[in-house]
Structure 1
């Protein structure tokens, strides 16, 4: 990599890191050009050069953290031989990610992410296909073996992630009636039971 490319990557990283800090501190409305350039120390021209707009930067930030979440979920399955241990590991990995990266998790579970997901669902899925395909193949093997109910994959995804996402959203919203450690003990088995044939 040339020095110019390396500087470009460093600038991109600074902008993405600053965008998450600004979002965490001020919410979606606080993510402005001025706030981003001040927090990152990067010029307005560099922001537009690398991302085209504040929306372009936020989309890249969302994709970055979605990629990291999916990578961690995929890695949790790699060590699992049975569907039950895999589902348990997947649920725990999701909740651990939320606990360890609350600012990024707030972005991933935000109305901004929901709007982007609705508007660009296919593009987001295509961008993460390399991470999604192995997880889908893993699950399909367990459906084919009879360990998991023979349901359409979107329904399996809803059964696995629905309760986890709802729990994460509640915790991220500041409700003190949700304990993620308790959820990590209780939800994996409950989710697993919902997938039994």
Structure 2
């Protein structure tokens, strides 16, 4: 990598880091070119050069944190020796990630993230294919082994992630959920909904 490329990567990282700080402090309405460039010390021209627009910056920020969350989830599943322990590990990894990265969690569970997900579902899925494939493969493998109910993968993903996403959103926005309690309770409840023997 040339020194110029390295400087470019450092500048892009500075902008992404600053954008997350601004988002955490002021929400999406506070995420302006002025706020991000002031927080990062980077010129507006550099922001436009690297991301094209504030929308481009926000999309890149969402993708950065989605990828990190998916890495945590896949790692949790791959270190588990059964479907049931995989669910427990996945739930704990997800909730720990949200607790440890609250600002990123707010962004990932925002209406903007939902909007982007609906508008660009195929592009997002394609961009994260390397991360999503192991999740789908894990589910399919445990359906084939007879541990997990033979439901469509999309339905199983909803049954597994729906309660975790719901608990995360409540913790992030209302604060009326104890994440430790959720990490203890949710895995067994989720498991009952996908256990092949429960049918």
> What residue number does 1:190 align with?
189
> What residue number does 1:35 align with?
35
C-alpha distance in 2 between matches for 1:122 and 1:35: 31
> What residue number does 1:125 align with?
125
Which aligned pairs between 1:13-52 and structure 2 lie closer than 5 A?
Answer: 13-52=13-52
> What residue number does 1:64 align with?
64
C-alpha distance in 1 between matches for 2:14 and 2:81: 39
Which aligned pairs between 1:137-152 and structure 2 lie closer than 5 A?
Answer: 137-152=137-152
Q: 1:46-84 CA deviation, whole Å, 9 max, x = no partner?
A: 000000000000000000000000000000011112101
User: Runs of at least 4 residues of structure 1 off by over 3 A?
Assistant: none
Q: CA deviation at 1:196?
A: 1.0
Structure 2 gaps, min length 5: none
Structure 1 gaps, min length 5: none
Secondary structure in 1 matching 2:181: helix
C-alpha distance in 2 between matches for 1:180 and 1:81: 24
> What residue number does 2:88 align with?
88
Aligned residues: 196
Q: 1:21-68 CA deviation, whole Å, 9 max, x = no partner?
A: 011111111111110110110011100000000000000000000000
Please report the TM-score for the alignment, with normalisation by the length of structure 2. Answer: 0.97
C-alpha distance in 2 between matches for 1:134 and 1:178: 30
